[in-house]
Every structure is written in C-alpha cells, then in structure tokens.
C-alpha cells in the first residue's frame, strides 16, 4: 500500500478519535452548537468515511492471494469488531507484513 493511500485511510480514524475524546474529556465543547444539525451532519459524514475506509481495508485483506484463509478471515473479523484501535495498526504495520509474506510465496 502506498503512503498516500495510508494517509488518506488514516485521516477518518484520527478525526473520529479526536471527536470521541473531545466529547468525553472537554467540558465546554467549542464545536458543539445548540443547533444539532451541524453535529448530526458531521457525525454521519464521519461514519460514512469510516465505513468506506473499513470496506477498503477489508478488500485489501481479502486481495492477498498467497495468504492462508484463516489469517485473512481473522484479520477481517478483527477489523470489523475492533475497527477504531486496530485500523491504524493494520494500515501502518500489518499491511506491510502481509505484503512481504504474500510476495515471498
């Protein structure tokens, strides 16, 4: 996976983590308005971007031809269940490892 694609896939997760942390940690939310339409549009957009990124990552896992099926299915389930914390690890670390194993066959 090229670095540009890694950066593009990382942006939605970082924004989502920022908004989760700011919602739980900050008492006075600067970005939160009394009109919740802005908040709703923002959260639906973030959800949509993260679903698209998840689909791209799952497709990427399943596209490896020389990786055995249990490893691929394990990573698909890990990405689905623990998406937010694991997706950054997969994008920046595990994908490179799977590429090397896939090319060695």
pTM of the model: 0.82
End-to-end CA distance of the chain: 18
C-alpha–C-alpha distance, residues 53 and 70, integer Å:
22
The structure tokens 């950054």 sit at 88
pLDDT in tens, 54-105: 999 999 999 999 999 999 999 999 999 999 889 999 999 999 999 999 998 7
Asked if residue 50 lies in contact with residue 86, where contact means CB atoms within 8 angstroms, the answer is no
Confidence of residue 18 (pLDDT cuts 50, 70, 90): confident
The structure tokens 């990124």 sit at 53
**In the chain, where the domains are located:** 3-104
66: Cβ contacts below 8 Å, ≥ 6 apart:
101, 102, 103, 104, 105
pLDDT at residue 32 is higher than 60 = no
Is the pLDDT higher at 27 or at 51?
51
Q: What pLDDT does residue 15 have?
A: 87
Give me the phi and psi of 36, to 5 degrees please. Answer: -85, 0
C-alpha–C-alpha distance, residues 2 and 80, integer Å:
22
């Amino acid at each position: 996976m090229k670095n540009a694609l890694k950066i593009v896939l990382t942006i939605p997760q970082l924004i989502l983590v920022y908004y989760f942390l700011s919602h739980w940690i900050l008492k006075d939310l600067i970005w939160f308005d009394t009109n919740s339409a802005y908040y709703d549009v923002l959260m639906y957009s973030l959800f949509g971007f993260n679903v698209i990124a998840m689909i791209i990552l799952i497709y990427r896992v399943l596209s490896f031809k020389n990786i055995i099926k249990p490893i691929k299915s394990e990573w698909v389930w890990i990405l689905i269940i623990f998406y937010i914390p694991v997706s950054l690890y997969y994008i920046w670390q595990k994908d490179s490892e799977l590429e090397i194993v896939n090319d060695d066959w």
